[in-house]
Amino acid sequence: MPSAVLRTIQQRDNAPLAAIIRQTLISFQANVPGTAFSDPELNALFETFQTPGAWYWIAGERNNIL
């Protein structure tokens, strides 16, 4: 059985993370203006977290985000 790994965000994570976050906001009926749902930076989390001292951790398994 594969085990989950923690890693820092990679550019390839942008689209799947944006989809996960948007779907979660929809499920909580929080897909409204003023939330991350409409924030353009949501599509570029890798680039956003390239600032020194900024970290975004991904839990993954077999190249899938958990």
Name the DSSP letter for residue 62: T
40, two tokens:
């353009």
The band of 63, judged by pLDDT with boundaries at 50, 70 and 90, is: confident
The band of 56, judged by pLDDT with boundaries at 50, 70 and 90, is: very high
User: Structural domain boundaries of the chain?
Assistant: 5-61
Single out the residue of 59, 54, 56 nearest to residue 11, CA to CA: 56
Tens-digit pLDDT profile for residues 10-50: 999 999 999 999 999 999 999 999 999 999 999 999 999 99
